[in-house]
Amino acid sequence: MKKANTLSAQRRNKTILSIVLAVICVIYVLPVLTVVINSFKLNTYVKTDTFALPTGEMYAGFDNFIKGMTFGNYPFWKSVTYSVVITLLSTALILIGTSMAAWYIARVDSLVCRGIYYLCVFSMVVPFQMVMYTLSKTADTLKLNTPWTIPVVYLGFGAGLAVFMFVGFVKSIPLEIEEAASIDGCGPVRTYFSVVLPMLKPTMISVGILEIMWIWNDYLLPYLVLDINKYRTIPIHIQYLKGSYGTVDLGATMALILLSIIPVIIFYLTCQKHIIKGVAAGAVKG
Amino acid sequence: MKKKKKISNGATLRRPMRRWAPLFMGPVVVAFCIGFVWPFIQGIYLSFCKFKLISDAKFIGFGNYARALADKSFQHSFWYTALFAVVSLILINLLAFAVAYALTQGIRGSNLFRTVFFMPNLIGGIVLGYIWSMIFDGVLSRYGTSILMETKYGFWGLIILMCWQQIGYMMIIYIAGLQAVPGDMLESARIDGANSWQTLFRVTIPNVMPSITICMFLSLTNGFKLFDQNLALTGGQPFLIQPDGSSVKTTEMLALNIYNTFYGQNTSSQGFAQAKAVIFFVLVAGLGLAQLAYTRKREVQQ
């Protein structure tokens, strides 16, 4: 009898816990919902009636979205394109470049390799502000200030974590598989592409997700390196709108913010499992 | 025989690989030099110089450092950042642990809750700052004020923002830690008659100590390095005019202070700003190395 009581008490406790968490969840989503309702609201009401639904005279329809597209004398689709180009190119370059280097470092293991490896680990604790001024000048001199060349800067500054994670993984895979390939007549290049690369896939996904999340949301590095009048990524564009003096159309800004969050949320919901795994791996190692 | 085996271990791979070193190592080494090594060395050197353009840098010794350490706005931003980092560390970790603990009790809807709590992590700092500045202004405008009017609003606003963003992240690490606690340990505690609080404090928490350490260091360094959110939420406002005419940006954190010194109105303060950046680097790297040393020590003990 007593046992049955504690069991039902346990069940009751769990239900209460579920309800409490559900309430917190709703509160958690509220900021995003506020963005949604304000993106359909006329500018003048965003500040005064932030939490009201856009009904009656407050409703702006899709005007904010249309207005937001050409806001700040810069078409929004251009910043979306630049953001996509920079994120994809840089991530691809980082994945290929650092995994090759990491394989070499882990297998050759010479003094120079170790030196480079420790430099990479060291670079992980260096904050961006330390190198931002000199890095932006160097990138300018070398003409790395376009969306097509900035991936080199990302490869350089972001190599640390990626090399660290790849080396850790390569050391855990047995040498015999690669040796067998080389005895069968595979050169290093072919061994890498047809034997090592497929084995690296799980770490590739983790590193790729970490890099995508970093580069897509990065503001300061592209802001300092790129030529801002020509190339603006999404964060730069949004900061430019809010930071510029004069009247800011909050409704249109919220519409743009909504447009920039939607792809991120879709990406998150489709690759949720990998994202959470990748983040946990990066955190525990970094 | 044994010796021969040792030589062959990896050597069949190594020799041909060395020939391909330029292909494997080249791109990363070149990019790493451009993106990190050279700017870092140049940065250290320039912190001892006075210059407007890098080409006319003149060595002046520790002058920049003396000026940086005596700078009122830098001192203010240091204490402000330290306070922020500690408060956010405590709040984020307590809440994240509580949520993670609740989510590992086998309740209904755990996966959905986890998905929702982690979501803010994917939104960039600039965008987050603007979302929250709209929300805070929506609330505060009813009382005829705004987040830019008072330092305490800016401080707690940023704390709320960071909690919203980071709890989900730390929660993931705590969940991984909690799931690794051996089930038989929990069961034997229950059989021995421990109540749930005793089990939590005597069995669960000691077992997730590694996760707790990682999360504490992560939130501490995140707090120290914070830039985007700070820039977008308040940008340092409100400003306090000092008796000597200079102004202190009261909600400006270290990273933003360095940025403003570099790219502010005074174009001759680059060396000074670089000295601040080096001090900042030593602080952040110190925290990182302390973490590394601490986790290493734990690994040895285990």
| Per-residue model confidence as pLDDT tens digits over B103-160 | 888 888 888 888 899 989 889 889 999 899 889 988 888 888 888 888 888 899 999 9
Are residue B97 and residue B230 in the same domain, yes or no? yes
Confidence check: pLDDT of B237 > 70: yes
Spatial contact of B29 and A116, defined as CB atoms under 8 Å apart? yes
Contact yes or no for B228 and A242 at CB 8 A? no
Spatial contact of B17 and A188, defined as CB atoms under 8 Å apart? yes
Q: Which two tokens stand for residue B46?
A: 């320039």
CA distance B195 to A68: 58
**CA distances (Å), origin A167, targets A99, A100, A232, B93, B293:** 8, 10, 34, 30, 20
- High-pLDDT (> 90) share of chain A, %: 22
Residues of chain A contacting B40 with CB distance shorter than 8 Å: 123, 126, 130-131, 134
**Nearest residue to A69 (alpha-carbon basis) of A258, A203, A252:** A252
Confidence of residue A286 (pLDDT cuts 50, 70, 90): very low
Contact yes or no for B36 and A178 at CB 8 A? no
Helix, strand, coil abundance in chain A, percent, nearest 5: 80, 0, 20
Contact yes or no for A135 and B35 at CB 8 A? yes
Mean pLDDT value of segment B272-279: 91
Are residue B22 and residue B135 in the same domain, yes or no? no
CA distance B267 to B174: 46
Are residue B157 and residue B99 in the same domain, yes or no? yes
Residue B150 in contact with partner chain A when CB distance is under 8 A? no
**CA distances (Å), origin A139, targets A112, A135, B263:** 26, 6, 17
Highest mean pLDDT among A8-17, B40-49, B285-294: B40-49
Are residue B100 and residue B32 in the same domain, yes or no? no
Contact yes or no for A159 and B164 at CB 8 A? no
- High-pLDDT (> 90) share of chain B, %: 27
**CA distances (Å), origin A146, targets A90, A98, A139, A223, A224:** 12, 22, 10, 11, 11
The interface pTM score, or ipTM, of the predicted complex is 0.87
Q: What is the pLDDT of residues B94-112, one digit of tens each?
A: 999 999 998 888 888 888 8
Confidence of residue B299 (pLDDT cuts 50, 70, 90): low
Mean pLDDT value of segment A136-158: 90
Give me the residue from A119, A213, A220 closest to B122, CB to CB. A213
Are residue B80 and residue B127 in the same domain, yes or no? yes
Residue A101 in contact with partner chain B when CB distance is under 8 A? yes
- Residue B37's domain spans which residues? 2-46
Q: What is the pLDDT of residues A40-80, one digit of tens each?
A: 888 777 777 777 777 777 777 777 888 878 777 788 888 89
Where do we find the tokens 């997730």?
Answer: B208
Contact residues, B window 99-118, toward A, CB-based 8 Å cutoff:
99, 102-103, 105-109, 112-118
A179 min Cα distance to partner chain B (Å): 6
Q: What is the pLDDT of residue A151?
A: 93
Would B53 be classed as within a structural domain?
no
Q: What is the pLDDT of residue B165?
A: 92
CATH code for the domain in which residue B193 is found: 1.10.3720.10
Would B54 be classed as within a structural domain?
no
Confidence check: pLDDT of A6 > 50: yes
Give me the residue from B18, B33, B108 closest to A108, CB to CB. B18
**Greater model confidence, B198 or A246:** B198
Contacts of B183 (CB under 8 A, 6+ apart): none
Q: What is the pLDDT of residues A176-202, one digit of tens each?
A: 888 888 888 888 888 888 888 999 988
Residues of chain B contacting A279 with CB distance shorter than 8 Å: 121, 169, 172
Would B52 be classed as within a structural domain?
no
Confidence of residue A254 (pLDDT cuts 50, 70, 90): confident
CA distance B150 to A177: 63
Are residue B97 and residue B245 in the same domain, yes or no? yes
Are residue B21 and residue B120 in the same domain, yes or no? no
Give me the residue from B23, B164, B285 closest to A126, CB to CB. B285
Count of residues making up chain A: 286
Greatest C-alpha distance within chain B: 86
Residue A39 in contact with partner chain B when CB distance is under 8 A? no
Residue A192 in contact with partner chain B when CB distance is under 8 A? yes
Are residue B181 and residue B290 in the same domain, yes or no? yes
Contact yes or no for B23 and A253 at CB 8 A? no
Are residue B92 and residue B28 in the same domain, yes or no? no
Confidence of residue A3 (pLDDT cuts 50, 70, 90): low
Contact residues, B window 237-276, toward A, CB-based 8 Å cutoff:
254-255, 258-259, 262, 270, 273-274
Assign domain A79-244 to a CATH class: mainly alpha
**Greater model confidence, A17 or A91:** A91
If one counts the domains in chain B, the total is 2
Spatial contact of B142 and A48, defined as CB atoms under 8 Å apart? no
Residue A48 in contact with partner chain B when CB distance is under 8 A? yes
Are residue B140 and residue B221 in the same domain, yes or no? yes
Confidence of residue B60 (pLDDT cuts 50, 70, 90): confident
Q: Mean pLDDT lowest for which of A210-224, A245-259, B112-126? A: A245-259
Would B58 be classed as within a structural domain?
no
Confidence check: pLDDT of A82 > 60: yes
Confidence check: pLDDT of B5 > 60: no
Identify the residue among A134, A207, A242, A250 best suited for mutation to test binding to B, counting B beta carbons within 10 A and taking the highest: A134
Give me the residue from B19, B35, B103 closest to A153, CB to CB. B35
Mean pLDDT of chain B: 84
Contact yes or no for B172 and A280 at CB 8 A? yes
Would B55 be classed as within a structural domain?
no
Residue B290 in contact with partner chain A when CB distance is under 8 A? no
Which residue ranges make up each domain of chain A? Answer: 2-68, 79-244
Contact residues, B window 42-101, toward A, CB-based 8 Å cutoff:
42-43, 46, 54, 99
Contact residues, B window 179-238, toward A, CB-based 8 Å cutoff:
214, 218, 225, 227-228, 231-232, 235
Q: What is the pLDDT of residue B4?
A: 43
Are residue B33 and residue B102 in the same domain, yes or no? no
B242 min Cα distance to partner chain A (Å): 25
Cis peptide before B22 (omega within 30 of 0): no
Are residue B155 and residue B8 in the same domain, yes or no? no
Give me the residue from A25, A48, A260 closest to B113, CB to CB. A25
Mean pLDDT value of segment B211-239: 87
Taking the CA of residue B29 as centre, how many other CA atoms within 13 Å lie in the half-sphere pointing to its CB?
15
CA distance A168 to B298: 19
Q: What is the pLDDT of residue A1?
A: 45
